[in-house]
Amino acid sequence: MMATIQQEDKVNLGAKKFIMWIFIFTSFMLFAALTSGFIVYIGGSKAHGLNITLPISFRYSTLVLIASSVTLFIASRSAKRLDFAKQTTMLWITIVLGVAFLILQVYGWYTMAYKMHIYLVDPNATRSFVYVMTLLHVLHIIGGLVWLISALSGSIKRIPQVKNLYRMEMTSIFWHFLDIIWIYLYVFLLLNQ
């Protein structure tokens, strides 16, 4: 009976992981489409890039997001070693860094709007792409924070190790994907400023 339940759990968890990979693929295609649209737009217009300097907070947010991937990696390794106290601590730190990323992004938008006078609806539409790309990434980060909170909850409640490792794996896949996408977007925007 117990073996049957565990087998059903593995099948259900495998299907959920497949859905996660489909979501990641579609998200990747969304960001690829946005950057391609940007390239096509500047190719067919008189605009040659953004003609702005990106806010410094975007650089800091990149470092914060990279640090959060490191802490999440440590949390995952701790979960595998059954070090739940360290797992919980590292998940808390990752969540704090994720929130710091959000704050830095909002501050970047504030800088663009109120200090640089660049708005979502701008005569140079290439600048609108910055808002759209970063806003979509922030929405993904909020989803990632939900995954992190779920993993933290499992760690605190000491759920069965199979489910704990599953939550950590799913959270790690999604969070590291967000890290890679942000680095891609940031470098793309830097090259086009």
Read off the pLDDT band of 146 (50, 70, 90). Answer: very high
Residue 1: pLDDT above 50?
no
Distances (CA, A) of 17 to 70, 71, 79, 174: 22, 22, 18, 10
Spatial CA neighbour of 156 closest among 70, 94, 88, 80: 88
Query: Quick one: pLDDT at residue 5?
Result: 45
Window from 17-26, 55-64, 174-183 with minimum mean pLDDT: 17-26
What amino acid occupies position 28? F
- For the residues of 63-81, what is the DSSP string, one character each? HHHHHHHHHHHHHHHHHHT
Please give the biggest Cα pair distance in the chain.
69
Domain extents in the chain: 56-191
> Cα 25 from chain centroid?
14
Averaged pLDDT of the chain: 89
pTM of the model: 0.88
- Angle at CA of residue 130, ends 98 and 104, nearest 5°: 30
Structure tokens at 183: 């680095």
d(CA 169, CA 133): 26
Residue 29: pLDDT above 80?
yes
Structure tokens at 67: 């640090």
CATH architecture of the domain with range 56-191:
Up-down Bundle (1.20)
Polymer length of the chain: 193
What number is the average pLDDT over the span 80-107?
97
